[in-house]
Amino acid sequence: MSVTGTPALVSVSISSSLNSFRALKRYARGLTIAEFKCKLELVVGSPASCMELELYTPDDKFVMKLDRDEALLGSYPVDDGCRIHVIDQSGATMGEYEDVSKVEKFQISDTEYEKRTDSARSFMKRSHLGQYKEDLAKESDLEQKLVEEKALVEAISVGARCEVRVSGQPNKRGTVMYAGLTEFKPGYWVGIKYDEPLGKHDGSVNGKQYFECQPKYGAFVKPQYVTVGDFPEEDYGLDDEM
């Protein structure tokens, strides 16, 4: 309890052996020293159980220790302008936790982190944030491209005559031998048996036979480059040669 005529609050300067600073605060004289230490934890960062308190006059002369936890702050000669110095007895030193290289770190491999469902990366993926927003756009573009390629392939019949038209290259005529998905690359492809040996293989890629033709007569092209129609095989005059 406070003495009659004594203000209920007192303004004191707080300093600490663990942190080099001073902070001007107001506290109730009715606090016990134990309660006072708990409030000082948030100011100086030292555990209340490891604090030793010293009282100094406004002109920095030592008065006494505040060493009775059950005593009231107002029972000590604490006046406005006094300084209370907190001595940390935990063994910590100034700046001990400022050098992060001394702090033990939890490490996890990227593979294991990828498996976690409660990580920041997992949240960003689900919410399509940051770099994963761009990934979503790319996936959307890829899906749209597959839809368009599928529609083109469905309009191309195996056995139909066709002409392959690629910008910057001469047109090539041949017969459609395959139309659909492949294992060697994603997306839809059209297998062509050319009328001339202008291809790359015999209808097989990476050991899988998609259709049969003579070596160097077969090729796979994207459906957007294939035009189906009445394209008779051209006569190159080979019969006139001996």
Averaged pLDDT score across all residues of the chain:
85
State residue 23's pLDDT score: 84
> Residue 129: inside a domain, yes or no?
no
Express each pLDDT in 23-48 by its tens digit. Answer: 888 999 999 999 999 999 888 888 89
At 100, is the pLDDT very low, low, confident or very high (cuts 50, 70, 90)? low
State residue 240's pLDDT score: 46
> Residue 99: inside a domain, yes or no?
no
Express each pLDDT in 181-224 by its tens digit. Answer: 999 998 999 999 999 999 999 999 999 999 999 999 999 999 99
Burial 222-235 (b: 16+ CB within 10 A, else e): bbebbeeeebeeee
> Residue 120: inside a domain, yes or no?
no
CA–CA dist 177, 210 (Å, integer): 8
Whether residue 178 contacts residue 190, with contact meaning beta carbons closer than 8 Å, is answered with: yes
> Residue 109: inside a domain, yes or no?
no
Q: From 186, 94, 202, 203, select the one nearest 146 (Cα to Cα).
A: 186
At 95, is the pLDDT very low, low, confident or very high (cuts 50, 70, 90)? low
> Residue 78: inside a domain, yes or no?
yes
Angle at 16 between CA 98 and CA 29, to 5 degrees: 140
Is 1 a residue whose pLDDT tops 50?
no
Whether residue 78 contacts residue 31, with contact meaning beta carbons closer than 8 Å, is answered with: no
Is 16 a residue whose pLDDT tops 90?
no
> Residue 220: inside a domain, yes or no?
yes
CA–CA dist 221, 43 (Å, integer): 72
Q: From 234, 193, 238, select the one nearest 215 (Cα to Cα).
A: 193
Tokens of 112: 């294991």
**58-62, 115-119, 146-150: lowest mean pLDDT where?**
115-119
What CATH number does residue 217 fall under? Answer: 2.30.30.190
State residue 91's pLDDT score: 73
Domain extent at residue 218: 155-228
> Residue 95: inside a domain, yes or no?
no
CA–CA dist 110, 114 (Å, integer): 6
What CATH number does residue 80 fall under? Answer: 3.10.20.90
**2-6, 31-35, 88-92: lowest mean pLDDT where?**
2-6
State how many domains the chain has.
Answer: 2
State residue 181's pLDDT score: 93
Mean pLDDT confidence for 94-100: 56
Looking at mean pLDDT, say which of 18-22, 82-86, 233-237 comes out highest: 82-86
> Residue 147: inside a domain, yes or no?
no
Express each pLDDT in 145-186 by its tens digit. Answer: 889 999 999 999 999 999 999 999 999 999 999 999 999 998
Q: What percent of the chain has pLDDT over 90?
A: 54
Domain boundary among 61, 88, 115: 88
Domain boundary among 88, 108, 124: 88
Domain boundary among 88, 114, 136: 88
| Helix residue spans in the chain (DSSP H) | 33-44, 110-115, 120-127, 131-154
